[in-house]
Structures are given as structure tokens and as C-alpha cells.
Structure 1
Amino acid sequence: MKQASRTWFITGASKGVGQKLVTRLLEQGHRVAATSRTAASLTQAFGAESDRFLPLEVDLTNDGSVRQAIEKTVQWFGVLDVVVNNAGYAQQGTVEALSDDEVRSNFEVNFFAPMAVVRHALPQLRRQRSGHIINLSSIVGFQGGYAGWGSYVASKFALSGLTESLAAEVAELGIRATVVYPGPVRTDFLSNGALAVAKRQIDDYAEAKASLDLHLDTLHGHQAGDPDKLALLIIQAASVESAPLHLFAGKIANELAAAKASAVSRDLEAWRRSSEATDFAE
């Protein structure tokens, strides 16, 4: 059965998963407001604005720019059904090497920008008593044991945690929230132009250096995840009544999530008696 047409707001829509998502949604007859740093990149990819497509040039790190984009979307389409926070970038570098500016810039895009989108979208969703917020995290936002990726991991954990809290907060309003944890996806995400590498390197951290080399020299271009299929999975999750709060995407993501759950369970059981001994004795 064909799904009813809905209005989607998608950040980071000019390339990668965001571009695939917009393409599929327009093919299926949905209405899409798409954001990018330049409107030209959007019109080049999807054509001029129309009654089903609204290209928006947005600075996601500017609260006013985000607010105006949401307001224009509601004015253009009259409704807002699904919000997808897709924009983000990877920052590589050991915790000791990363500068304060590098960490804060990573969080500005990966966490504070989605937070702003959600904050400005919620009044419209609350008035409607409906809507679905989908935040693109990463498997590293659930299983974070990757040397040299502390800033990126932390920003994605923050986004995942925000989504869990948000889901509890808005459920009574008829609004749903989902956090997506993709494994490695075959886009330009790890290309030299997209991946931020710490300006300062510390030779002592061999594991972090090996991890960077692996991602640049071996993984880039050979990621298992298909961005088009990931886009279809997101659409599927948004179309069902019982949408998942946690949506893992890809075999690698599933395996890593299961391994993390198992490791947490082992630690929980091994330390249960000592842990519970910290409570007051009643």
C-alpha cells in the first residue's frame, strides 16, 4: 500500500545519505525541505523549488538561520511531519592532540546543530500533536571503542542520548523520536576533503595512527553500507506506527551493538554485588 504524502525536513541533503534520502522521497511523492550550506548544490541535484521541493541554504551553526529554515518550511508546505538531522562530519585525533576549537567545532555541527533543529521544529510538531524526529548518529554513538576518534564518538553519544531523552519527553504529545546507528556507509564521509584530522599529532599513540590509516587507506570506498538502502530503511522506519527508538543499520552495526550489549552485561553481572553494596542499608 502506498504511503500518504508527508513533509520532510532534511539537513545535509546535497550529498551522501541525505541526497539519497531526498531522491527517494521525491520519487515516492513526498514533499521535502532540504538544507545545505549552498542552495546551488541542492538545485543542481534536485531542480528548482516547487510545490514538493524546497531548497534551503542554511548555516546549521547559526540559530537564527535554523529557525528561519523551519519557519519557511512550515510557511511553504503548511505542515511538518518528519525531521531528519543528517548533517555531520568526522573529527580524527587523540584526546591529547585535539585542540579546544577542533572539539567545539565538531560538537557545533554534530550535536548543537541538531539540537537547534529539534528546538525550532518542536513548536510546530506540538501544535500538530504529531511528527517524527530522526537523528542520524553512528554505531560509534553506541559502541565507542575506537582509538583516535574521541571527539566524534562523544558528539554522537551526545546525539544518541538526546534522542532517548527527547523520545520520553514528547511521547505524550504524539511525537516520535528515532536514533539511527549506521555502520560504515559508502559515501565521501571519509574522504580527505570531508574528514577533519587534528592539526597536532602525537607519535606515541600508534593505535590511533593505525586507525586513521585504516579508515583512509582501506575502509574509504569499501564500506559495507549502501547509502541508498539506508535511505530506504529510514523511510520504512518513519512509515510504521511502532517506529523504533533505536535503529541499527547494517550487519556491522548489528554485530558491534550486540557485542557492546554483551560486554555491558558481563560487567554488570561481575560487579553487581559490589555495586549494590553502595546503597544505604535499609
Structure 2
Amino acid sequence: MAKTWFITGASKGFGREWAEAALERGDRVAATSRSAAAFDDLVEKYGDAVLPLRVDVADRTAAFEAVQQAIDTFGELEVVINNAGYGLFGMVEEVTEQQARDQIEINVFGALWVTQAVLPHLRARGSGHIIQVSSIAGLTSLPGLGIYHASKFALEGFTASLAAEVKGFGIKVTLVEPAGYATEWAGPSAVQTERLPAYDDFRAAMSGISSRRGDPSATRAAILTVVDAQQPPLRIFFGDGPLERITKEYEARLDEWRNWDEVSKAAFGS
């Protein structure tokens, strides 16, 4: 049976790939972007199966109105994907107040507003699947991406709580945690801070670090598998390498906590 999707940030990257994957198999998609014209080709190809919506997800009222418009048009929503977001590149000291606020507004509050908007509908129907597009950056941190990491750690935190809160209503929740992919996240869609010369040597040392970039189109089958699963995971990596990396990261954390356990216990008091 065809499903009805609501996808934010659907004009490019993962959002575009997943919107096309859903439409190709006969599903319906409410696709949001800051430019509804970005979906003209999809509307031409798939007609009424596509609902193009111009939405700034950081605007809570606009997010709620878009969700309601999708429900009014399609009658229901079953799969909700919070994909809208971007990368903020810069050392913590370099980030301006506005850059930091904008990053959190889109990456955290945008997902929160859409989630809040769809929950009454999903509770009423007793089913649904909310998918938050996090990142391996929501589990481990690299220099030069501090505020982006903060946004993804925040997304991970409230989503894990959400999953427990809505399980009894029949609502499923999944965090998709991609590794590096050849999307526009690190290119045209990124925001760069003004660089401080104090970090030039550090940047030069990091410049030799390279990583493979996955093919975004390869995630199409994966997202459909997650969406169609009777018992989808709360967390799933997309990409080759995250499991090994996070295993090492968490083992190192456990070692450090164990090494300092006596101090930790002493801090509790008698």
C-alpha cells in the first residue's frame, strides 16, 4: 500500500533522493524547501502525488501550517522526515552569535517544530514514523565543526526521549546517522566562519586528512527498508565506516571514565 511522506529539505541531497525514491514506487510526498519551484520537475513527472511546499522550518507557525496543508491535501501523513539542515564550518572561537543561532534554529528547532506539528495527527491515527536525519557528527566530534556537532547532539538527545514518549501511541522514531556523502552539505549549502589567523597552523595540519564520500543515491534502498520495517531501529548508520569509528570512540570514553572512577565516586560524598 502506498505511503504518504512529509520531507523537509527535499530540494537536494538526501531529501531529494528519498523524495524521488518514494515517488518512483508510487508513494505520495509533501516536499518542502525554501523554494517550492525546486520541485517543478517532480510535479511535471508525478502530478498530484507531489505537494510542493515553500517553508522555512525555523518558523514554527510556517512549519505547523505546512504540516496541516499536507494533511488537508493527502488526508494523512505516515512518514515524516526531518532532513532540512546545513553545516557550519569554523572553530568555536570564530563563530558569530548569529551564525550559532541560525545553526540551532534550522538543525534543532526546525526538526522540533515539524515533530510537534505532526504528533497530534500521528497520535490520532495510532501509527506513523518520524525519521530525524542526524549524523555521525551527533555521536562524535571533530575540530572546526563545534556548533554543527552541538546541533546534532541536541537532535539526538530530544529524539531519544521522543521515541520513549510516543512508543505507546504506535509511533515509530528513527535517527538516521550518515557518514560523509557527496552532497552539498560541505559545499554550496555550507556556511563558513571568518577565519582567525591563530588557527592557521592547526588548519594546515588538518588539511591532509581526507575521507571517502558516499553516493547519496545509494541511500534510496536503505531509507525504503527503514520505512517499511515493522520494527525499525532507533538508530542506524548510513555509510561504510561509522560503526568501527564509533566503537573506538566509545571504548576510549569507557576507558577514561574507568580511569577516573575513584574521583567520580568521591565526588558523590559519603
Measured against the shorter chain, the TM-score band is: over 0.9
Q: How does 1:161-240 map to 2 (within 5 A)?
A: 161-191=157-187, 193-198=188-193, 200-206=194-200, 209-210=203-204, 213=207, 223-240=212-229
Name structure 2 gaps, 5 residues minimum.
Answer: none
2:140 paired with 1:143: yes
Letter matched to residue 209 of structure 1: R
Deviation at 1:29, TM superposition (A): 1.3
- Counterparts in 2 of 1:31 and 1:99: CA distance versus 1, 3 Å: same
Q: Retained in 2: the 8 A contact 1:183–1:249? A: yes
SS of the residue corresponding to residue 251 of structure 1 reads: coil
Equivalent residue for 1:114, pick from 111, 114, 118: 111
- Distance in 2 of aligned mates of 1:48 and 1:189: 27
SS of the residue corresponding to residue 79 of structure 1 reads: coil
Deviation at 1:212, TM superposition (A): 7.7
SS of the residue corresponding to residue 159 of structure 1 reads: helix
- Distance in 1 of aligned mates of 2:65 and 2:205: 40
2:241 paired with 1:252: yes
Q: Retained in 2: the 8 A contact 1:147–1:208? A: no
Q: Retained in 1: the 8 A contact 2:42–2:50? A: no
Q: Retained in 1: the 8 A contact 2:23–2:46? A: no
Percent identity over the alignment? 37
- Counterparts in 2 of 1:156 and 1:212: CA distance versus 1, 3 Å: farther
- Counterparts in 2 of 1:269 and 1:28: CA distance versus 1, 3 Å: same
- Distance in 1 of aligned mates of 2:247 and 2:198: 32
- Distance in 1 of aligned mates of 2:98 and 2:147: 11
SS of the residue corresponding to residue 185 of structure 2 reads: coil
The residue number in structure 2 matching 1:63 is: 60
Equivalent residue for 1:80, pick from 77, 80, 84: 77
1:239-273 per-residue CA deviation (whole Å, 9 max, x = no partner) reads 11221111111122222221222112212322233
Q: Retained in 2: the 8 A contact 1:143–1:256? A: no
TM-score (normalizing by structure 1): 0.89
- Distance in 1 of aligned mates of 2:34 and 2:70: 16
2:128 paired with 1:131: yes
Between stretches 109-118 and 41-50, larger displacement belongs to 41-50
- Counterparts in 2 of 1:45 and 1:78: CA distance versus 1, 3 Å: closer
Equivalent residue for 1:270, pick from 249, 259, 263: 259
Superposed CA RMSD: 2.0
Q: Retained in 1: the 8 A contact 2:128–2:171? A: yes
- Distance in 1 of aligned mates of 2:113 and 2:206: 31
SS of the residue corresponding to residue 34 of structure 1 reads: strand
The residue number in structure 1 matching 2:150 is: 154
- Counterparts in 2 of 1:232 and 1:49: CA distance versus 1, 3 Å: closer
Q: How many residues align?
A: 270
